[in-house]
Chain A
Amino acid sequence: MSGAGFAAPHVDYAAVAPIIALTVGLVVILMSGVFETTKRWAPGLAVMTLAATAGLLLWHWNDQIDLIAGALRVDNLAISISLIAIASAFTTILLSIRERAAEEAGQGEYYALLIGSVLGMVLLSEAENLVTFFVAIETLSIPLYILCATNLRREGSLESGLKYLIVGSLGSATLLYGMAFIYGGTGSTDFAGIAHGIQANGMLHDPLILIGIALAAVGLAFKTSIAPFHQWTPDVYQGAPTPITNFMAVATKAAAFAVFVRFFIVALGPETGDWQLGLAILAAISIVVGNVGALGQDSLKRLLGYSGVAQAGYMLGGIVVASEKGLSALVFYLAAYLFMNLAAFAVVVARERETPYGDDIRGVRGLMAERPALAWPLTISMLALAGLPATAGFIGKLYLIEALVEGSYTWLAVFIAVGTMISLAYYLRVVAAMWMTPGESAPGLAATGVGGPGTAPVISGASPEADPVDPEAGRRWYLLAPAVIAAGATIFLGVIPQPLVDFATHAGSSLF
């Protein structure tokens, strides 16, 4: 109150609490990894951190708080996306139990990195300033580069980490370059300030801003794996340890979409008409490329990677229309996507550990007869991703299409319909493998030398080192429970979607 000198901005510690919780948890988990005795607490600590963060976030539900001089903003959009990321991280922890990657990377480090990435996601979903935006996206990405490579004994994992690092850095650099242009054009790093600057000059008249926006959009498209900037996705998804793939598929996408929305709707809100068509074209390309690319993939993780590209195209439709309904549809779809993907990935993890086929589609042949408890979740997941009725996927598509038609983008809705039709061919191929093909017979295994000690069968599409480590994996609660619960939730939300619709409507209303 002396009136002299530097006045630190006011910080609302209550609203920053989730971020503080994550940071503290991160440090504690990292320290726990130092001692042999405390090492095994790491997963438990990580779960506690996530639970505390989720609780603190929910505390601010329906609040709208600008934090730290407008660098961050806590609102329902940020909270709902953060919750999706946290839920995804939680399931990743379950899937990582007895995962070789987690053991090889050192328990403490593995979970600390995971929490670090979640921290980046929470920050990103709240970012309202180019600087926090960039810092958050790097906080999110750097732990993931390492996590992808944690399965040290597998060449594919290392390759995946390196590839992700190079491509991700390129994306980040592009984004940063774009941000510089935008700052140059509008004189502000603040989203609201950018909006002001754009309103004054017009987006299309200033080449500086136009280039900046285009580069930033490309950078964001890298992160959300939207075609034609998706090439890394299938490779990285396939090579990374499957629990981490599960995490990247949902949480990264959710967080990147959150900032995508905020950047385009808040910062570029005044010039909606100028960027809508561009994004719509990106979405259409993504739908076609993803769905066509997934055809004929034998590796389930690659298949889910391409399917993720297509799904990102569908979700981008929610941003294209720049309406409250579009945003709600996006949040709904992301939440549904969490469950649909989890059910699939939990089964893939189980089969990777049970069979010598890794994530190859052969690993799920005859699953309906062999392990119905795994086959049902994967079936439901595939049907939901394909958007068949009585699943959350159908309601999600319905929501998106409704938003698109209302926003006069019916042609994009038709693209979604056509893309869905193509997607049936590969989703149902997985279903057919489970239901309509006999399981890989025991003689086949003997011929490839499985069962003999220490032999590693070489199978195309699967990593050669992917030998079964746990023949009973499909009965373990930490794999079975996520699969069954996620599948149950997928059906439940397809039949009684109202709670999730309300949740999404709240999230959607925070920007409009």
Chain B
Amino acid sequence: MINALLWVPLAFGFVGLFLPKRAVGWWATAGATVTLVIGVIMAFGFDNGAAGLQDTVHTSWISGLGVDYSLGLDGLNLFLVLLTGLLWLGGIAFAAFREKDRPQLFFFLMLAAETGTLGSFLSQDLLLFVLFFDLMLVPFYFLFGAWGIDRTAEGGPTAPRATLKMMIYTLIGSLLMLVGAIATAIISAHGGHLTFSIEAIQQQGVPVGSQRWIFWFFAAAFLVKMPAFLVHGWMPDTYRAAPLSTLVVFSGVLAKVGAYGFLKIVLPLFPQATSQFQTVLLLLALGSILYGSVMAFTQTNLRLIAGYSSVAQLGFITIGIFTLRADGSDGAILQMVNHGLVVGAIFIIIAILVERSGTEDLRAMGGMAMRAPVFAALFLIVTMATLAMPGSANFIGEFYILNGLFQSKIVFAFIAISAVALAAYYALRLYIGTMHNRRPDGILSREISLRDGIVLAPLVLCILALALYPQLILHRADPSVQRSVAAATGGESAPSSPSSSEEELAVNK
């Protein structure tokens, strides 16, 4: 089952290479649907209370090098897998409705990227994780470069140049991570049997001295991927070059792999280094929040507003993880899913807006809501979720994160809390700037088409569903999160309190 989940997208993509142009979009949509359905079926079979791995597959891959093909599902990756399935379906379906140059290749690459991303979430072998982590980037290089937008007219780079920058940035991190992963396995084996199994390495333990430098090799990979403050240099050019339908998944899912990596690998394997560098990471994350927010409300390009808001949101998620408390990390997981849904929806909305208005400049837009009440309503829901309006799942996620932060590093919490206000500003600015105000000439205010509605509505429904019942994620994630966090704090983690936080939440409300 888990094998099917991983390889179905690639198989569909490969077959799609040989289909006629008109059919391939639907074929790819079918492939993404099948993947999502498999994911949902697996989620139903998921045992909520268990902390360990479920649905595992384990075979030796390269025996001489100690690398295994080992997959599994746990509370950390379950919902990220579902998010992947959902957003890919959205992105592919959205693209399937539109004319494309060389569609066979486009959809092949999209589906290959899905396999790569699912692989990095599902891998339970350190090296397999690194492999998929690198692999998922390769299709995006081609997607952005070959179907991207040339910005030379605006003084920006060409699409191939922008993507090259992205590749170099992200691979600096992941190549160092490759060295780090190999070093982790060899050092922890102490001359014995070499294995890359994450669980086995955790049991063997990595000496503290080695942890310190390996930690940064991994952190480099994950922080660049997010992107975090100081290593976000590739983000603006890439976001401006990329086709919008690919940004739905790129921004929605790939950024989360970085955050997921911290929870899955860094906390359990390098616990001492994690607590030692906790403050540094928290500072970086705060930087992300402040910088991302400020940029998001000064930029005028819609893509960059969404891109920088992601930087800020990912900063928030990082803070949740590095509270090194279970409630903070629970919140981080919830927030990863929330943000994925929200930003995926936002990029679809931006794509629609850009089609209507022919510009990406916020200043040249406005008045779109006049004749499009349904579209405006959908957008409003997404906006409210982005700014973490009480009642939305994002509010609960942020609440958990801040709650964890208050209890571990109260000083940081006071700064982080300002981020909530900043988010409100940039989210509303985006909404008001596009939907309200006077409508400039040449901008079409038309109701969302049925086709796009079909793509957007499920995402909005998921946002609403999570707002009503965030426990869906929290309960399933908590046992696994406890384990990761307990490892990092040497088992002395304060008992996590989803239930008690819930009561506080009720009081707050």
Which single residue of chain A is at the shortest CB-CB distance from B172? A421
Interface residue A395 (Cβ < 8 Å from any Cβ of B): yes
Instruction: Kindly specify which of B132-140, B289-297, B416-424 makes contact with the partner chain.
Output: B132-140
Q: Are A421 and B171 in contact (CB under 8 A)?
A: yes
Docked complex Cα distance between A401 and B177 (Å): 12
Q: Are B145 and A389 in contact (CB under 8 A)?
A: no
Q: Contacts A405-B186, A410-B183, A432-B145: A389 and B164 contacting too (C-beta < 8 A)?
A: no
Q: Are A424 and B135 in contact (CB under 8 A)?
A: no
Q: Which of A368, A389, A405, A428 is most buried by chain B, counting CB atoms within 10 A of its CB? A: A389
Q: Are B132 and A424 in contact (CB under 8 A)?
A: no
Chain B residues within 8 Å of chain A by Cβ, number: 33
Q: Are A497 and B62 in contact (CB under 8 A)?
A: yes
Docked complex Cα distance between A394 and B142 (Å): 19
Q: Are A424 and B168 in contact (CB under 8 A)?
A: yes
Chain A residues within 8 Å of chain B by Cβ, number: 39
Q: Are A425 and B183 in contact (CB under 8 A)?
A: no
Interface residue A498 (Cβ < 8 Å from any Cβ of B): yes
Which single residue of chain A is at the shortest CB-CB distance from B101? A369
Docked complex Cα distance between A293 and B164 (Å): 18
Docked complex Cα distance between A498 and B67 (Å): 11
Interface residue B316 (Cβ < 8 Å from any Cβ of A): no
Q: Are A406 and B186 in contact (CB under 8 A)?
A: yes
Which single residue of chain A is at the shortest CB-CB distance from B161? A432
Measured CB to CB, the closest approach of chain B to A364, in angstroms, equals 14
Docked complex Cα distance between A406 and B159 (Å): 41
Which single residue of chain A is at the shortest CB-CB distance from B147? A436
A residues in contact with B145, CB < 8 Å = 432, 435-436
Interface residue B127 (Cβ < 8 Å from any Cβ of A): yes
Docked complex Cα distance between A328 and B141 (Å): 32
B residues in contact with A417, CB < 8 Å = 175-176, 178-179
Docked complex Cα distance between A400 and B203 (Å): 26
Measured CB to CB, the closest approach of chain B to A425, in angstroms, equals 7
B residues in contact with A428, CB < 8 Å = 141, 164, 167
Q: Are A398 and B179 in contact (CB under 8 A)?
A: no
Interface residue A413 (Cβ < 8 Å from any Cβ of B): yes
Measured CB to CB, the closest approach of chain A to B43, in angstroms, equals 28
Q: Are B159 and A390 in contact (CB under 8 A)?
A: no
Q: Contacts A421-B171, A428-B141, A501-B65: A394 and B131 contacting too (C-beta < 8 A)?
A: yes
Contact flags (1/0) for B63-83 with A, using CB distance below 8 Å? 111010000000000000000
Interface residue A123 (Cβ < 8 Å from any Cβ of B): no
Interface residue A261 (Cβ < 8 Å from any Cβ of B): no
Q: Are A414 and B64 in contact (CB under 8 A)?
A: no
Kindly identify, within residues 368 to 425 of chain B, every residue whose CB is under 8 Å from any CB belonging to chain A: none
Kindly identify, within residues 412 to 435 of chain A, every residue whose CB is under 8 Å from any CB belonging to chain B: 413-414, 416-418, 420-421, 424-425, 428-429, 431-432, 435
Interface residue A399 (Cβ < 8 Å from any Cβ of B): yes
Which single residue of chain B is at the shortest CB-CB distance from A407? B186
Q: Are A410 and B172 in contact (CB under 8 A)?
A: no
Q: Are A501 and B131 in contact (CB under 8 A)?
A: no
Measured CB to CB, the closest approach of chain B to A388, in angstroms, equals 6
Partner of A399, one of B65, B141, B160, B179: B65
Q: Contacts A383-B138, A389-B135, A436-B146: A413 and B168 contacting too (C-beta < 8 A)?
A: no
Contact flags (1/0) for A472-499 with B, using CB distance below 8 Å? 0000000000000000000000000110
B residues in contact with A76, CB < 8 Å = none
Kindly identify, within residues 91 to 111 of chain B, every residue whose CB is under 8 Å from any CB belonging to chain A: 102, 105
Interface residue B182 (Cβ < 8 Å from any Cβ of A): yes
A residues in contact with B168, CB < 8 Å = 421, 424-425
Interface residue A246 (Cβ < 8 Å from any Cβ of B): no
Contact flags (1/0) for B141-167 with A, using CB distance below 8 Å? 110011000000000000110001001
Q: Are B182 and A402 in contact (CB under 8 A)?
A: yes
Q: Are B175 and A436 in contact (CB under 8 A)?
A: no
Measured CB to CB, the closest approach of chain B to A393, in angstroms, equals 12
Contact flags (1/0) for B54-68 with A, using CB distance below 8 Å? 000000011111010
Docked complex Cα distance between A406 and B130 (Å): 19
Docked complex Cα distance between A388 and B168 (Å): 12
Docked complex Cα distance between A389 and B146 (Å): 21
A residues in contact with B61, CB < 8 Å = 498
Interface residue A12 (Cβ < 8 Å from any Cβ of B): no
Interface residue A151 (Cβ < 8 Å from any Cβ of B): no
Chain A interface residues (CB < 8 Å from chain B):
328, 368-369, 383, 387-390, 394-395, 397-399, 401-402, 405-406, 410, 413-414, 416-418, 420-421, 424-425, 428-429, 431-432, 435-437, 497-498, 501-502, 505
A401-B182, A417-B176, A424-B164 known; 19 other A-B pairs, CB under 8 Å?
Answer: A328-B64, A383-B138, A388-B138, A389-B131, A389-B135, A394-B134, A398-B182, A402-B186, A416-B179, A417-B175, A421-B175, A425-B168, A432-B145, A432-B164, A435-B142, A435-B146, A436-B145, A497-B62, A498-B64
What are the 6 A-B residue pairs with the smallest beta carbon separation, nearest first?
A417-B175, A432-B160, A389-B131, A389-B135, A436-B160, A436-B145
A to B CB contacts below 8 Å, 23 in the list: A383-B138, A387-B175, A388-B134, A389-B134, A389-B138, A397-B178, A398-B67, A401-B182, A402-B182, A405-B182, A406-B186, A413-B179, A417-B176, A418-B172, A420-B175, A428-B141, A428-B167, A429-B164, A431-B141, A432-B145, A497-B62, A501-B62, A501-B65
